[in-house]
Amino acid sequence: MIEQMTWKKYLNLTNAKVIDSRFNDIEGTKESLMAYKYGKILVCACPSTARVYALEVNEECQTCKQAQSYLSCGLSERIISAS
């Protein structure tokens, strides 16, 4: 249903608020961490297809970086630290 409605419209209807946003240099994407009625999501768009993805993250995440680390089970943090 959300795909038919679009994430933009759904997030507007649920009064979602942007907590943090950034440009992810590693993946070449713009990201926004948003809080809405049911929790928190990381919203990002694929640079090659322009498809928008909204990925549920832990309520404790306060930044896009923390959300990426949560989604990768800490792997992305280790890769960034190693470089």
Enter the pTM of the model: 0.79
The answer to whether 24 touches 49, Cβ cutoff 8 Å, is: no
The answer to whether 43 touches 59, Cβ cutoff 8 Å, is: no
Kindly state the tokens that stand for 73: 């089970």
pLDDT for 62: 97
DSSP 14-74: TT-EEEEEEEETTTTEEEEEEEETTEEEEEEE-TTT--EEEEEE-TT--SHHHHHHHHTTT
Per-residue pLDDT of the chain (83 residues; tens, 9 = 90+): 788 888 889 889 989 999 999 998 877 888 999 999 889 999 988 888 888 889 999 999 999 999 989 998 877 654 444 44
